[in-house]
Structure 1
Amino acid sequence: MTIITMMICQPQLSLPQIPTRGLDLPVIQCRPQKEKVVVIMGVTGTGKSRLSIDLAGCYPAEVINSDKMQVYEGLDIATNKITEDECTGVPHHLLGIVDPEKDFTAENFVATASLAMKSIVGRGKLPIIAGGSNSFIEALIDDRNYEFRSRYDVCLLWTDVAMPVLHRFVSDRVDRMVSAGLVEEVRKFYKPNSDYTKGIRRAIGVPEFDSYFRAEFSSSGDKKYRDKLLEQAINEIKINNCKLACRQLKKIQRLRNEKGWDIHRIDATACFQNSGEKSDELWSEMVAGPGLVIVNQFMLNFGHDRSFVTAADGDRSKRPTAMVTGAYR
């Protein structure tokens, strides 16, 4: 009987046995494998943070934020930062760490995220990069010196939701943000003659309130007039979020279709068309489950399909459950 000696580059993973009957194979020596990185992409509100927590519950992993507004300190409601409870103990990097008055560029992100990845893999954990700023992700993966691709193998997941469904969700989310204290949060941050082209003031949900706060601080107009300005600001936030989603979608499609990125699309539309327990059940079946299948195959260097539009095959009881119930980010 021929004996095959295999050098497994990632000892924590078990690879399937290779049938050897009738084969006379030499000893196999594999070159050191690249480190693994998972990137979760998607437009605003499609559940990127939720999926990152689901995956981190199945792997020893840490999350690196790639949302260009969430890197700033403050305005947690306006920037829709994941809460401490929603993190469920999973360490997060590049979240609320930058002076809100400073600019944080794609180059800054590449440098900081690179350090975070090295630290995470150095501790034997899987880096999961999650966020909607595709310009940051593109700058990191396709850096000029080819450093990322020479060091890392990357698995790109895309949580996708049909635009008409997402637009309704985003509009409702803005209403929930207002109920959670959005206006009061931005009011405390407001300064007359602010520069809305720098720092965190670029975030959707900040410049839209300028006219309302100007009228409020100067006591110009009656309450009915100011209420109208507030309503206009909220509607403008909804419109701008929908416009942002369309721009983000075009960037993802460009990366996939023009640059040839191997992005694995997961259709989460059905989850957003339902609510409560039904939505959570569909998330587990149609998003978290297929996402885990893709990542498992990636970690074991197996091939897999580019898209999941239905639930993955297999025992549903073994699929991950949605850990951030009811909150899509």
Structure 2
Amino acid sequence: MTTKERHKVLVLLGPTAVGKTRLSLELAAAYNAEIISGDSMQVYRGMDIGTAKITPAEMMGIPHHLIDIHDPQDPYSAAEFQEQGSRLIEEISSRGKLPFIVGGTGLYIESLCYGFQFSEAVADEAFRKEQDQFAEEHGALALHARLEAVDPVSAAKLHPNDRRRIIRALEIHHQTNTTLSASHAAQKKESPYDLCLIGLTMDRKILYKRIEDRIDSMLADGLVAEVKGLLENGYSRSLVSMQGLGYKEIAAYLAGELTLEEAVILLKRDTRRFAKRQLSWFRHMKEIEWIDVEGEQNFSENFSKIRAIIAGKFLSGLEYTSEQYN
């Protein structure tokens, strides 16, 4: 493709609880966009409260893609997201609409925006079983330490409970004698798209308070019942989906391993740490235009700032359809 032929793609990213959803809806309405979810957990059906999934009633009639496309027992990967996202960008663009990626899963969003080539290392089931057994016998931290020994950069980005991705990183090193982080660093950061990347951030203390308030709201909305229902429907705690934040902690409570208070304290702590890792990932994406958001009272101002960024990047050929914020 020549530069003129590249599809325009708008991206809104940032850590959990920073306020992406409302802004994404207003932007999608304003720029005739369809939203592609860039969240690795919202693909799972029945996992709604713990993933802060937007409801159909909240979508304002705006098409949302890659939400509720898998049952919890089906693993989902960055490579699958990239393939599906690439196809959706083509389809949305062909309809004369703007593809709009919204989310907080760094690897997924970056792989789609820049057309990452994923490792050719094939699945080694015997190696995976060996690592899985090691984790069962010695614990998640011991498995994480194995990765830290050979690929400290990747280890720093992965939570010790993210067993599947830790084993995959070890598998890549085992088969290729190169690290996952080196593979990512070697990727060409040239996008096949005409990108406008906008990142949302805020004061860390305010963000952490929003995270804790969101978790309290999730509990009030029935998070415990949601996790209990998933377990009763036969979804094992060992599934990748059930290792997600909110699910593994509440499952541990339901198994009698933690009190509810202990589970909530752990969930809030791990979610704060997750938000920190999200920001660290995004910070190395040099093309992001960052907006420091402080709360709902500044929504119109933040919206105007984003509008100006979009105008400067690629307003030509886009019709701004709303006069609401003029």
Task: Assess, with a 3 A threshold, how the Cα gap between structure 1 residues 194 and 123 changes in structure 2: closer, same or farther.
Answer: closer
- Deviation of 1:63 after TM superposition, in Å, equals 0.1
User: Aligned partners of 1:197 and 1:298: how far apart in 2?
Assistant: 44
Matches within 5 A, 1:23-102: 32-102=4-74
What residue is the counterpart of 1:296 in the other structure? Answer: 311
SS of the aligned residue for 2:87 comes to helix
Deviations 1:122-146 (A, max 9, x none): 1000010000001101111232469
* SS of aligned partner of 1:38: strand
Q: Indicate how the Cα distance of structure 1 residues 300 and 59 shifts in structure 2: closer, same or farther if over 3 A, else same.
A: closer
**1:171 touches 1:238 (CA, 8 Å); kept in 2?**
yes
| CA distance in 1: counterparts of 2:190 and 2:32, whole angstroms | 22
Alignment of 1:132-211 (within 5 A): 132-144=104-116, 149=190, 151-190=192-231, 196=237, 198-211=239-252
> Which one has the bigger helix percentage?
2
Residues 92 and 318 of structure 1: is their aligned pair in 2 closer, same or farther, counting only changes over 3 Å?
Answer: closer
Which AA in structure 2 matches 1:319?
Y
Residue 87 (structure 1) shift:
1.0
- Looking at structure 2, the residues matched to 103 and 210 of structure 1 have their Cα atoms a distance apart, in angstroms, of 19
* TM-score computed with the length of structure 2 as normaliser: 0.71
Aligned match of 2:300:
284
2:263 to 211, 233, 253: 233
Q: Distance in 1 between matches of 2:10 and 2:233?
A: 42
Tell me by how many angstroms 1:99 deviates. 2.0
Instruction: Quote the offset at 1:296 in angstroms.
Output: 2.3
Aligned partners of 2:11 and 2:24: how far apart in 1? 9
Return closer, same or farther for 1:263/1:301 CA change in 2, 3 Å cut-off.
farther
Q: How far apart, in 2, do the equivalents of 1:72 and 1:147 lie?
A: 31
Alignment correspondent of 2:151 = none
SS in 1 for 2:100: strand
- Tell me, in whole angstroms, the C-alpha distance in 1 between the residues paired with 2:241 and 2:253: 19
Unaligned runs of 5+ in 1: 1-29, 216-225, 256-260, 272-278, 303-316, 321-329
Separation in structure 2 between the aligned mates of residue 43 and residue 300 of structure 1, nearest angstrom = 26
Contact 2:115 2:192 in 1 (8 A): no
Q: Is the 8 A contact 2:25 2:62 kept in 1?
A: yes
Cα shift at 1:109: 0.4
Q: Does 1:123 align with 2:91?
A: no
2:293 partner letter: A
Q: Distance in 1 between matches of 2:220 and 2:241?
A: 21
Q: Secondary structure at the match of 1:140?
A: helix
CA–CA separation in structure 2 for the residues paired with 1:292 and 1:165: 24
Distance 2:115 2:5 in 1: 20
Cα distance in 2 for partners of 1:282, 1:290 equals 11
**Percent sequence identity over aligned pairs:** 34
1:242 equivalenced with 2:272 (yes/no): yes
- 2:277 is matched by which residue type in structure 1? R
Q: Which amino acid aligns with 1:229?
A: T
Matched AA of 1:230 = L
Offset at 1:254?
2.0
Structure 2 unaligned blocks of 5 or more: 118-186, 318-322
- The one-character-per-residue Cα deviations of 1:22-79 (angstroms, maximum 9, x if unpaired) are xxxxxxxx97342100011101111122221111111111000010011111110011
Q: 1:148 to 1:84 in 2, by over 3 A?
A: farther
Which SS does the other structure have where 1:46 is aligned?
Answer: coil
Structure 2 distance, partners of 1:31, 1:72, is 36
Q: Is the 8 A contact 1:192 1:214 kept in 2?
A: no
- Which amino acid letter does the alignment assign opposite residue 315 of structure 2? L
Name the CA distance, whole Å, in 2 between partners of 1:147 and 1:127: 22
